């Protein structure tokens, strides 16, 4: 076998937004394997969408454990996802100004959706809502 070339070079980079985002994508991966796979196998495979309704969500969120679990999911997965989207868009958007606008729009997108999800997680199932 031909000898393989070494391509590793140690460099010192002062921490900045991009290095933190780079690390975030990788460290959050380890947390999300049990969180996301566990959630998906339980809800999509074992329980299944045909058995999920308001009562099911209410029963699940009656337990603090599952609310904390879902909060962790929301925090890890969505931030990982939006930053991933940012990485993809960076391939297509090159201008400095355009990237600045893109970063702000994505940040707002992340913040708004996270707040919407977080509100529901804290408030729970709304029984007062007029159900037909």
Partner 1 sequence: MSELKTTLAGYVTYRGREGHWSFLLHRITGLGVVLFLTIHIIDIAFVYFNPVLFMKAIEIYRSTLFGVGEIFLVFCVFYHGVNGLRIAYLDLFKPQGWHIESQRRSVRWTLVIALVLWLPSAFWMLRNLLIHNYGLFGG
* Minimum CB–partner distance for residue 35 and partner 1 (Å): 10
* Minimum CB–partner distance for residue 105 and partner 1 (Å): 14
Q: 77, 39 in Cβ contact below 8 A?
A: no
Residue 9 or 14: which CB sits closer to partner 1?
A: 9
Tokens of 119: 């509100």
Residue 58 or 104: which CB sits closer to partner 1?
A: 58
- Residues of this chain that bind partner 1 (CB under 8 A): 1, 4, 6-8, 23, 25-27, 29-30, 32-33, 36-37, 40-41, 44-45, 48-50, 52-54, 57-58, 74, 77-78, 81-82, 84-85, 88, 91-94, 113-114, 116-117, 119-120, 123-126, 129-132
7-44: buried (b, 16+ CB within 10 Å) or exposed (e) per residue? eeeeeeeeeeeeeeeeeeeeebeeebeebeeebeeeee
- CA neighbor of 89 nearest in space, from 100, 78, 77: 100
Map tokens 């980079």 to a residue.
Answer: 13
Residue 19 or 104: which CB sits closer to partner 1?
A: 19
Q: What is the DSSP letter of 132?
A: -
Residue 98 or 104: which CB sits closer to partner 1?
A: 98
């Amino acid at each position: 076998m031909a000898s393989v070339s070494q391509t590793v070079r140690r460099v010192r980079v002062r921490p900045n937004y991009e290095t933190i985002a780079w690390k975030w994508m990788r460290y959050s991966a380890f947390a999300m394997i049990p969180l996301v796979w566990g959630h998906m196998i339980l809800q999509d495979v074992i329980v299944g969408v045909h058995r999920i309704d308001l009562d099911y969500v209410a029963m699940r969120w009656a337990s603090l454990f599952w609310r904390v679990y879902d909060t962790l999911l929301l925090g890890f997965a969505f931030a990982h996802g939006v930053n991933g989207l940012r990485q993809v868009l960076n391939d297509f958007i090159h201008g400095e100004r355009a990237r600045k606008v893109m970063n702000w729009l994505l940040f707002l997108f992340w913040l708004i959706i996270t707040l919407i999800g977080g509100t529901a997680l804290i408030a729970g199932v709304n029984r007062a809502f007029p159900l037909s």
